[in-house]
Amino acid sequence: MCYISLTRRGAGLPMSVARKLKEIGSILQAARTSRGLTQADIAPHLGVSRATVAQIETGRRSLKAEDLRRLAAFYGCSLSELLPPATDDRGMDGVAELFRSHPDLTEDQGPSSLASVCAMARALTDLEARLEIDAIAYALPSYRVERATTGWQAARQGYRIAEDERRRLALGEGPVRFLDELLITAGVRSAKATLPTGILSISISQPDHGLLVVVDKNLGLEHRRFRYAHGLAHFLFDTEGPWRMCNAGGQPDFAEVRADAFASGFLIPQHGLRRFVETLGKETLGRVGPTVLSVYSEGDGRDKTGESRRVDGRQRRGRHPITLSDVLRTAHYYGTSPSVAAHRLRNLRLLTDWELDQLETMLRSEKRAPDEGELALQAAPHEMDSLCSRLAALAASALHRGNIDTPRFHELADLAGVPAADREHLLATTATPPQQERESSNEGKTA
Examine the fold and report which residue of 92, 127, 142 is the final residue of a domain before the chain moves on. 92
- More confident position, 46 or 367: 46
Instruction: Answer yes or no: do 426 and 391 share one domain.
Output: yes
- More confident position, 32 or 292: 32
Q: Decide if 102 is inside a domain.
A: no
Examine the fold and report which residue of 244, 267, 290 is the final residue of a domain before the chain moves on. 267
| pLDDT tier at 440, thresholds 50, 70, 90 | low
Q: Decide if 228 is inside a domain.
A: yes
Instruction: Answer yes or no: do 261 and 155 share one domain.
Output: yes
Q: What is the CATH number of the domain that holds 199?
A: 1.10.10
- More confident position, 44 or 440: 44
Instruction: Answer yes or no: do 360 and 406 share one domain.
Output: no
Instruction: Answer yes or no: do 254 and 327 share one domain.
Output: no
Taking alpha carbons only, the member of 191, 143, 135 closest to residue 167 is 143
Q: Decide if 79 is inside a domain.
A: yes
Q: Decide if 107 is inside a domain.
A: no
Domain limits for position 402: 386-446
Q: What is the pLDDT of residues 262-282, one digit of tens each?
A: 999 999 999 999 999 988 888
Lowest mean pLDDT among 55-59, 136-140, 272-276: 136-140
Q: Is the pLDDT of residue 172 over 50?
A: yes
Q: Is the pLDDT of residue 29 over 50?
A: yes
- Assess contact for 144 and 89: CB atoms under 8 A: no
Instruction: Answer yes or no: do 161 and 258 share one domain.
Output: yes
Instruction: Answer yes or no: do 355 and 397 share one domain.
Output: no
Instruction: Answer yes or no: do 218 and 243 share one domain.
Output: yes
The CA-based dihedral angle spanning residues 261, 267, 272, 277, taken in that order and rounded to the nearest 10 degrees: -90
Give the range with max mean pLDDT: 30-39, 146-155, 164-173, 350-359.
164-173
Q: Decide if 100 is inside a domain.
A: no
Q: Decide if 288 is inside a domain.
A: yes
Q: Is the pLDDT of residue 371 over 70?
A: no
Lowest mean pLDDT among 2-16, 17-31, 414-428: 2-16
| pLDDT tier at 6, thresholds 50, 70, 90 | very low
Name, in order, each residue with C-beta under 8 angstroms of 142's C-beta and a sequence gap of 6 or more: 1, 64, 236, 237, 238
- Measured CA to CA, the distance from residue 65 to residue 267 in angstroms comes to 26
Instruction: Answer yes or no: do 173 and 79 share one domain.
Output: no
Instruction: Answer yes or no: do 57 and 72 share one domain.
Output: yes
User: Number of folded domains in the chain?
Assistant: 4
Instruction: Answer yes or no: do 263 and 155 share one domain.
Output: yes
Percent of the chain, pLDDT > 70?
Answer: 77
